[in-house]
């Protein structure tokens, strides 16, 4: 493990032409203090966790001092925001310090989010607040714990500097890590400017850095688009399977690697509602939970258009036509696993069981996470009543019919209930980042400068499938006081 003075920077993005980024340093913040540090993420860049105790640690990770070897810059991109094209966006409050090559040979971007005004701030202040930083810090690690591709969070550093949102809040900087922060909009900006040479330069860069197995293929650009399409389809299926809503699926928030990133007004659905809208700034529901798979394809079409100078139109259509089958296959398999059904079962055979269960859950307003977790206790014996599960549903006759079909499937597979429960508990989390849990941690941090709840949640959410001996009702649905919590694009 290494100290902050020994990190091995290899800044490949900084070596791209100047029109891909703007070089600048973070804007200092006064009196920084460490809020939370993530040891697991530190290992990704070979950083010794003892470094967090350094007197100057907070100075480095709030941007007041530059890490040796860093070449800070902000990245340019465009994007479709709520369906409307914006010709120039870019990192308005994030600064890429550089890329660290770890001992395994992996490159990890190190980015400071909230590090100050950049050329792309569009009249913004370039800052992040403690509230939003805590939410992203916890959710990115919660998603990692769930096995969903995501950016990672190294630490939060706070400052008493005032930041103006709906109210006056205090500043914070989140250090996040990712194999790349290139996004769909990174290609769109050059397509709409007619700069086709830059599209090829960026595509070659991304393929060489992140898809090296494609680099020597004659059809590398088509294969690249296909791989992004497949990764995105799988990511959408994973989001849907755990009940996660991103909230702002603009093309500038879509990772070229199929990662979840740019967390803002996200939400884990509690009562099952396919039309769930987590973003108060999205009253029309463009990015509602049940719209996410289709939006994923719409965004891929935008990326494909940006890559059209490199790929024949018929090949683009072929690639995009692969999206829906890939998504449905991944989703059916994930949901089948949530029901404890073996992989030998045809995915199509699971659809009716899944669909009818979800309809009953919606009409009974059942908690999505807890219901699937409790299904692990389903007794498949012919004379079993499953009373505790049954009493959660309003339409008992519908449940009885569904339970009979589910029992028949389980008996056909002939596995022991105890073995099935173990499989189901490995894919149905007990703990998710419910909004009210994040809110409790935020209020303690803001009002008392007590960060213990952040660390407690972090330790809980990185092992969401385990039966953890914790004090408190961390697996319970939102209490009444939290029912009115809202998050928006400022979150």
What's the mean pLDDT in 20-43? 97
58 in a structural domain = yes
402 in a structural domain = no
Q: Same domain for 175 and 200? A: no
Single out the residue in 295, 327, 359 at which a domain terminates: 327
Q: Same domain for 234 and 204? A: yes
* Count of domains for the chain: 2
35 in a structural domain = yes
What's the mean pLDDT in 278-283? 92
Residue 331 is predicted with a pLDDT of 96
Residue 348 is predicted with a pLDDT of 67
Q: Same domain for 21 and 168? A: yes
Of the candidates 46, 91, 109, 252, the residue annotated as catalytic is 252
Q: Same domain for 275 and 323? A: yes
Tokens read off for 341:
């059904």
Q: Same domain for 132 and 209? A: no
378 in a structural domain = no
pLDDT in tens, 84-120: 999 999 999 999 999 999 999 999 999 999 999 999 9
Residue 124 is predicted with a pLDDT of 87
Residue 343 is predicted with a pLDDT of 61
Residue 485 is predicted with a pLDDT of 74
Least confident of 250-264, 323-337, 347-361, 368-382: 347-361
Residue 230: name the closest of 203, 257, 262, 263 by CA. Answer: 257
Angle between helices 313-321 and 323-338 (to 10 degrees): 20
Query: Does 9 or 483 have the greater pLDDT score?
Result: 9
Q: Same domain for 138 and 258? A: no
- Residue 48 lies in domain: 13-181
What's the mean pLDDT in 399-420? 92
Confidence bin at 50 (pLDDT 50/70/90): very high
d(CA 118, CA 125): 9
1 in a structural domain = no
Single out the residue in 152, 181, 210 at which a domain terminates: 181
Residue 146 is predicted with a pLDDT of 98
Check: CB of residue 192 under 8 Å from CB of residue 80.
no
440 in a structural domain = no
Q: Same domain for 177 and 189? A: no
Q: Same domain for 203 and 114? A: no
Q: Same domain for 292 and 219? A: yes
Single out the residue in 327, 344, 365 at which a domain terminates: 327
Q: Same domain for 117 and 245? A: no
What's the mean pLDDT in 133-156? 98
282 among known catalytic residues: no
413 in a structural domain = no
Output the average pLDDT for the chain: 95
Residue 82: name the closest of 296, 294, 287 by CA. Answer: 287
Residue 486 has pLDDT above 80, yes or no: no
pLDDT in tens, 194-242: 999 999 999 999 999 999 999 999 999 999 999 999 999 999 999 999 9
Residue 357 has pLDDT above 80, yes or no: yes
Confidence bin at 345 (pLDDT 50/70/90): low
Q: Same domain for 189 and 257? A: yes
Residue 488 has pLDDT above 70, yes or no: no
What's the mean pLDDT in 415-437? 95
Residue 445: name the closest of 433, 453, 437, 456 by CA. Answer: 453
480 in a structural domain = no
Q: Same domain for 274 and 131? A: no
Residue 373 has pLDDT above 90, yes or no: yes
Residue 55 is predicted with a pLDDT of 94
The end-to-end CA distance of the chain, in Å, is 35
Residue 184 has pLDDT above 80, yes or no: yes
What's the mean pLDDT in 73-80? 98
């Amino acid at each position: 493990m290494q100290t902050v003075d020994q990190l091995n920077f290899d800044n490949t993005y900084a070596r791209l032409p100047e029109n891909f980024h703007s070089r600048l340093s973070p804007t200092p913040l006064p009196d920084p203090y460490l809020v939370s540090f993530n040891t697991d993420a530190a290992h990704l860049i070979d950083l010794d966790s003892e470094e967090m105790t350094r007197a100057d640690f907070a100075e480095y990770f709030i941007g007041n001092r530059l890490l040796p070897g860093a070449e800070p810059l902000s990245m340019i991109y465009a994007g479709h925001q709520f369906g409307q094209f914006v010709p120039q966006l870019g990192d308005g409050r994030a600064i890429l310090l550089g890329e660290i090559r770890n001992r395994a040979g992996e490159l990890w971007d190190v980015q400071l989010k909230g590090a100050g005004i950049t050329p792309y701030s569009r009249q913004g202040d370039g800052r992040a607040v403690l509230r939003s930083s805590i939410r992203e810090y916890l959710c990115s690690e919660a998603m990692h714990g769930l096995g969903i591709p995501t950016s990672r969070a190294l630490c939060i550093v706070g400052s008493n500097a005032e930041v103006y949102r709906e109210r006056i809040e205090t500043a914070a900087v989140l250090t996040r890590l990712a194999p790349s922060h290139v996004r769909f909009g990174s290609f769109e900006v050059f397509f709409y400017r007619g700069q086709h040479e830059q599209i090829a330069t960026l595509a070659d860069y991304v393929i060489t850095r992140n898809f090296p197995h494609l680099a020597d293929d004659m059809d590398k650009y088509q294969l690249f688009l296909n791989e992004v399409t497949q990764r995105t389809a799988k990511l959408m299926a994973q989001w849907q399977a755990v009940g996660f809503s991103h909230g702002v699926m603009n093309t500038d928030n879509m990772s070229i690697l199929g990662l979840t990133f740019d967390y803002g007004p996200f939400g884990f659905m509690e009562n099952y509602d396919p039309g769930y809208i987590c973003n108060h700034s999205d009253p029309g529901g463009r990015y509602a939970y049940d719209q996410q798979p289709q939006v994923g394809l719409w965004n891929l079409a935008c990326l494909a258009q940006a890559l059209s100078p490199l790929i024949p139109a018929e090949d683009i259509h072929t690639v995009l036509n692969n999206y829906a089958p890939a998504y449905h296959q991944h989703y059916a398999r994930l949901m089948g696993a949530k029901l404890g059904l073996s992989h030998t079962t045809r995915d199509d055979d699971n659809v009716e069981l899944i669909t009818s269960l979800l309809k009953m859950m919606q009409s009974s307003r059942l908690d999505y996470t807890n219901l699937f977790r409790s299904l692990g206790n389903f007794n498949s014996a012919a004379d079993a009543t499953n009373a505790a599960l049954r009493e959660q549903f309003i339409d008992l006759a519908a449940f009885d019919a569904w339970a009979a079909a589910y029992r028949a499937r389980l008996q056909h597979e002939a596995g022991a209930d105890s073995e099935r429960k173990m499989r189901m508990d490995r894919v149905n989390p007990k703990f998710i980042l419910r909004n009210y849990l994040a809110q409790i941690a935020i209020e303690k941090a803001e009002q008392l400068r007590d960060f213990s709840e952040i660390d407690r949640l972090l330790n809980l959410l990185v092992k969401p499938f385990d039966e953890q001996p914790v004090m408190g009702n961390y697996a319970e649905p939102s209490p009444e006081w939290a029912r009115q919590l809202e998050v928006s694009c400022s979150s």
